[in-house]
Structure 1
Amino acid sequence: MPDDHVYGVRLFVPGTAATPAQWQDSLGRSGLTLDGGALTSPDLGFRALSEWVANDGSFGQAFGYGTMTPQEQYAVDAAGSALLLDLPVYLGAPVATLIAALGEAGALGVRLEQSKLGWPVTRWVRALEGGDPWALYRCAVVVLQGEGGSRSCGMHVFGLPDARVEAAPVEADRLLGELNVYQLAEDPVLVTGDTFRPDLDTPRRRLERWPDDGYPPDHPCHNPFGTWRLGGEGGTADPRGDLRPVFIPPLVVLLTAAEDRAGRPLRRDEVERVTNEGACMMMAHADAQHLERGRGYADLEPELAWDQWQVLRGFRD
């Protein structure tokens, strides 16, 4: 559940240094301080958690998705060791500063653990500093195909929901890319019941926010901000007021506590009672979005509480 999730960015960084001491020396020359399990710098403005990883012979495979040249992948495969870094920030300019410094310290590539996409250092720096949301999206987010349609993976590194849709693969790639880049570039305030279309020639699809059911909450690829489910073609928008109810504490916390007290799965009537009796504050949609990002995870939709709770509690069994 939410308390188990640490949000932000996780980076896997293979480099030429073979020991923690060698990493300390090379990072120090790049203005970074590696002290025990922490990586810091006056230029970063945050403290990253760090774990040293010995090369077990699989580093090259971790970058084996066509994102590196054979020569670059060979260098990664022969890396001395790697660092696994947990950053308490979303993907943006401060991360570009860090990745550039890591490159100066001998980093051979950087893999984003939330989507498993790994690129050379220079590609990351260009994407993060270049101001092109499509370039950044392609660096950080992958689209996966499955029986339930197509879904994106990786938008949580920006503090945003992923998306999923049932459509032919090419059309699904287009719809998911357009919606996700729209979120990334414009930062719109979207809510369940809104509709989306990338252009005037494409039918609208209704949006519903659901918990991410693709990965368990403790997996790096799990998106704590959930997933936009795009409905079928021709969807219509629900009326939207100026304010929305925000559960304080979040509904998912209330239901988790109620189920822990009961020692068994809650019945539907019990979920509905907790939902109906939970304390709420009426907030503007933009303020509710800001609160969610600061908290690090999305709450359940009250009107869909029973069905969405089944998605979340499935990971508790």
Structure 2
Amino acid sequence: MLESKIIFGIPGFWKDRTDIVKTIAEKSGGYLFLGGILSRTDTKDFFDVEIYGHDKQLKEAFSYAGSFSSEQLGAIEKHSCTLYVIGKGGSIEDANKMLDVGLALLNAGGIAVKVESSGVAHTVENWTSAAQAKEIHNTFRSFVTFVGEEEFYYSCGMHCLGYPDVVVLKDDYNPSEVVKLMETFLLYNLYEKPVLKSGETFSIDINSPYYILNHKPCTYFEEEHPFYNPYGVWELKKK
């Protein structure tokens, strides 16, 4: 199985590499950036970091991926460079470490976060709240998003946490109802850690429809794609 990776980008107004190194050392709260490695001094955890210059399309990318005010998008548009961080995924613990890394870089001058492993973006306030809480549902919402295609709805980002994503074929479903179904199913997996098998059923409650579970490989993205889930996908089909 491929190793799960978490990748996110943080734009900021750093002048140059020297400014990045200095500011991280002074304001991150315990991280050092040397070479292409960001390390946490108290735990010895390390993360790969790549620096990219100004991207004129970044404002648009963030506007599609999250909820930002015009002022926040204006700041993103004026960024000088973006730090792309690559770390280990595959568990809640790993995801929480990446929340801490993101918070450290925001404290060191970052202005927003876009998770390239799922396509969801967050304001400083939202990311900070999740990093400080370290609660499962906050970590979940930091890395997982929901997408609607022509024939189906699906989640994206559960590989960051070490679990399969979920897909629901479109019939006559209300989009908000489908999101509730998918979110409930995924949080049930995170909180209860059930051992599920294809052919079993799932329902939100006794008054809701039952869905037949079918575990499949992730075929919606190539293995090299950041969205690819090596843990597969649960397909939910109404019984």
TM-score grouping bracket, smaller chain normalisation: 0.7 to 0.9
Residue 225 of structure 2 is matched in structure 1 by 219
**Match of 1:180, as an amino acid?**
L
CA distance in 2, matches of 1:108, 1:181: 29
CA distance in 1, matches of 2:131, 2:189: 16
Residue 199 of structure 1 is matched in structure 2 by 205
Q: Which has the higher contact order (CA 8 A, sep 6+)?
A: 2
CA distance in 2, matches of 1:154, 1:98: 18
- Could you list the per-position Cα deviations for residues 293-316 of structure 1 after superposition, in whole angstroms to 9, with x for gaps in the alignment? xxxxxxxxxxxxxxxxxxxxxxxx
Total equivalences in the alignment: 230
Residue 312 of structure 1 is matched in structure 2 by none
Following superposition, the deviation at residue 153 of structure 1 comes to: 0.9
Following superposition, the deviation at residue 45 of structure 1 comes to: 4.3
Residue 314 of structure 1 is matched in structure 2 by none
Distance 1:6-1:61 versus aligned 2 partners, 3 A rule: farther
The answer as to whether partners of 1:93 and 1:129 remain within 8 angstroms in 2 is no
TM-score w.r.t. length of structure 2: 0.88
Tell me whether 1:13 sits opposite 2:10 in the alignment.
yes
Long gaps (5+) in structure 1: 234-317
Following superposition, the deviation at residue 133 of structure 1 comes to: 4.0
CA distance in 1, matches of 2:180, 2:152: 13
The one of 229, 232, 240 equivalent to 2:235 is 229
TM-score w.r.t. length of structure 1: 0.67
Percent identical pairs in the alignment equals: 27
Residue 57 of structure 1 is matched in structure 2 by 56
Following superposition, the deviation at residue 130 of structure 1 comes to: 2.6
**Match of 1:55, as an amino acid?**
H
Distance 1:100-1:43 versus aligned 2 partners, 3 A rule: farther
CA distance in 1, matches of 2:51, 2:237: 44
* 4+ long deviations beyond 6 Å: none
Tell me whether 1:41 sits opposite 2:40 in the alignment.
yes
Query: How big is the alpha-carbon RMSD for the aligned residues of Structure 1 and Structure 2?
Result: 1.9
Look up the SS of the partner of 1:64 in the other structure. helix
Following superposition, the deviation at residue 43 of structure 1 comes to: 3.5
Long gaps (5+) in structure 2: none
The one of 114, 119, 142 equivalent to 1:116 is 119
Look up the SS of the partner of 1:25 in the other structure. helix
Computing the radius of gyration from Cα coordinates, the structure with the larger value is 1
Residue 182 of structure 2 is matched in structure 1 by 176
- Could you list the per-position Cα deviations for residues 37-70 of structure 1 after superposition, in whole angstroms to 9, with x for gaps in the alignment? 1110124542101111111212212211342111
Following superposition, the deviation at residue 179 of structure 1 comes to: 0.5
- Could you list the per-position Cα deviations for residues 113-158 of structure 1 after superposition, in whole angstroms to 9, with x for gaps in the alignment? 1111111233113124335544443332222222332111111111
